[in-house]
């Protein structure tokens, strides 16, 4: 009888304590479940389809059509630190070829983006969008935006807006510098050299290149009156 009484008291005590802590225990389980679900959602980014079978020209050619985008937490192949270094290297190249000026102390934002082709939702890639911009002061705004491929690290598009700075040179000279950059920057195997064709006098140019299978690619290069230049965007 004494043992039975002790057991009954222990059961009552257990139920009482369990009832007291049950709400907190349930909340803890809920938090754990939510945390697991959050991790699952983050991991889904790693399973997004990438066009691994595409060559560099295909990636470059598709970049101009990939207008739909969504911000990601990180790249598939690069982290933020690596992407930042790559962006600075690409900016330095544009400066060396006279396509951009040293932005000095401009602020910089760098973001990995999942980009999707408008006409083909199954075509997706991860690009890094890097923007250097000045403070929004009156008559003093400039911006440099660079996009490069997360998988290959190659530049796919850029725009340079010099603001109200004096624009030097002429459009034809700028287009020639751009052609030199393209032929020096992209690896010369499997396709011809880039050629430049003027579409509108001093405003729009097209760079063409052909691969070994005689597939032709065209990339637009715009030069605005205010000095802004845009490649493949």
Residue among 223, 218, 182 at smallest CA distance from 93: 182
Higher pLDDT residue, 228 or 117?
228
Asked if 63 contacts 147 with a C-beta cutoff of 8 angstroms, the reply is yes
Low-confidence winner among 24-28, 43-47, 135-139 (lowest mean pLDDT): 43-47
pLDDT score of 117: 73
Residue among 51, 67, 63 at smallest CA distance from 219: 63
- Which H/E stretch holds residue 175? helix 171-185
Torsional class of 184: left (φ above 0), alpha (ψ -120 to 50), beta (otherwise): alpha
pLDDT score of 12: 45
Q: What is the pLDDT of residues 55-95, one digit of tens each?
A: 788 888 888 776 667 888 888 899 999 999 999 999 999 99
Residue 126 vs residues 37, 111, 180, 221: alpha-carbon distances, Å: 23, 10, 27, 23
φ, ψ (nearest 5 deg) of residue 192: -75, 180
Whole-structure pTM value: 0.71
Q: What is the pLDDT of residues 87-132, one digit of tens each?
A: 999 999 999 999 988 777 667 899 999 888 777 667 788 999 999 8
């Amino acid at each position: 009888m004494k043992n039975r009484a002790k057991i009954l008291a222990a059961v009552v005590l257990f139920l009482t304590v369990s009832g007291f802590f049950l709400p907190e225990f349930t909340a803890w389980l809920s938090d754990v479940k939510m945390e697991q679900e959050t991790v699952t959602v983050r991991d889904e980014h790693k399973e997004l389809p990438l066009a691994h079978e595409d060559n560099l020209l295909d990636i470059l050619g598709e970049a101009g059509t990939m207008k739909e985008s969504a911000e990601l937490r990180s790249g598939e192949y690069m982290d933020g630190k690596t992407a930042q270094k790559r962006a600075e290297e690409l900016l330095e190249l544009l400066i060396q070829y006279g396509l951009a000026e040293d932005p000095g102390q401009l602020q910089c934002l760098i973001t990995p983006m999942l980009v999707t082709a408008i006409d083909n939702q199954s075509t997706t890639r991860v690009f890094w969008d890097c923007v250097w911009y000045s403070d929004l002061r009156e008559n003093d705004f400039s911006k440099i935006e660079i996009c490069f491929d997360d998988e290959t690290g190659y530049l796919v598009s850029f725009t340079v807006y010099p603001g109200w700075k004096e624009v030097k040179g002429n459009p034809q000279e700028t287009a020639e510098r751009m052609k030199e950059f393209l032929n020096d920057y992209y690896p010369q195997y499997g396709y011809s050299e880039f050629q430049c064709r003027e579409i509108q006098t001093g405003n729009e140019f097209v760079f063409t290149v052909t691969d070994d299978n005689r597939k032709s690619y065209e990339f637009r290069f715009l030069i605005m009156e205010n000095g802004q230049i845009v490649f493949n965007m």
